[in-house]
Amino acid sequence: MSETLQTANARDLERLHRMLRQVAGDDLGTLRRHLAARDEARVLDIACGECHEAEVLTDFAAELTGDPDGAVQLTGLDVRAREIANARKRFGRRRGPDNQRGKREFEFLSGDATKLKEHVGSDEDFDLVFLRHQNYWNGDSTWEKIFDQALERLGSDGRLIITSYFDKEHRLALEALQRLGGELLRTESNPETRALLTPGKSVDRHVAIFRRKDA
């Protein structure tokens, strides 16, 4: 990766972190209390690609535990085996304290998220489920299956967070998630989003947070 792209990605991730804090706002009191009483926070990143976002997501989850060095376990899943191999190379399967970032455990799985139960134990609930740059336009029925399973994996205080590259794709994803049983808590446009070459496409252009309506 060129240095310029590396720098751009690093800045995107700083902005994503700010957006996560903003969109979560004051909503997460219950989840914070729940996490403060637990040994570790559990995060599922669906369609994670190479999972550039892994450290931002685990830092954000650690903040919610009330301790920036709090323990966090992240499971990333993507259908593209090469991206997952790269994520494993970058983050390994770390256990124990890291000098800078507290106790983190990363696990990356290659598989189809429309069959999430086959890859991630069906009795496992997650505190946070992320879909960064969901791809609803690339196959609405596939992504509705993914959204449905993502909502299913949320614990009772858990939250689902999505980000989108495009305005219309974001709107369609919000509608689909609400049809499937998600309650939209907040959606925010990213004022610092980085424009990409395709007109109307930019990095983490919108960020939205949901809980399960039946929770």
Ligand X SMILES: C[S@@+](CC[C@H](N)C(=O)[O-])C[C@H]1O[C@@H](n2cnc3c(N)ncnc32)[C@H](O)[C@@H]1O
Does 185 sit near ligand X (CB under 6 A)?
no
Stretch that binds ligand X, among 56-64, 127-135, 166-174, 207-215 (CB under 6 A): 127-135
Separation of alpha carbons 208 and 23, rounded Å: 7
DSSP class of 114 = G
Question: Which of 133, 153, 159, 211 is in the footprint of ligand X by CB under 6 A?
Answer: 133
Question: Which of 13, 19, 20, 49 is in the footprint of ligand X by CB under 6 A?
Answer: 49
Burial of residue 211 (CB within 10 Å: 0-12, 13-18, 19+) is buried
Minimum CB distance to ligand X, residue 111 (Å): 7
Separation of alpha carbons 196 and 194, rounded Å: 6
Does 114 sit near ligand X (CB under 6 A)?
yes
Minimum CB distance to ligand X, residue 56 (Å): 11
DSSP state string for 136-161 = GGG-HHHHHHHHHHHHHTEEEEEEEE
Alpha-carbon distance values, 139 to 28, 77, 89, 172, 173 (Å)? 32, 18, 29, 12, 11
Which is nearer to ligand X, 157 or 169 (by Cβ)? 169
Stretch that binds ligand X, among 7-15, 72-80, 150-158, 176-184 (CB under 6 A): 72-80
Stretch that binds ligand X, among 16-24, 97-105, 109-117, 121-129 (CB under 6 A): 109-117
Alpha helix positions (H), 28-139: 29-36, 54-64, 81-91, 116-119
Stretch that binds ligand X, among 19-27, 36-44, 88-96, 111-119 (CB under 6 A): 111-119
Q: Closest Cα to residue 113, out of 127, 130, 92, 128?
A: 130
Does 57 sit near ligand X (CB under 6 A)?
no
Q: From residue 80 to residue 99, what is the string marking binding to ligand X with x (rule CB under 6 A)?
A: x--x----------------
Burial of residue 31 (CB within 10 Å: 0-12, 13-18, 19+) is buried
Does 9 sit near ligand X (CB under 6 A)?
no
Does 48 sit near ligand X (CB under 6 A)?
yes
Binding site for ligand X (CB under 6 A): 47-49, 52, 77-80, 83, 112-114, 132-133, 135, 142
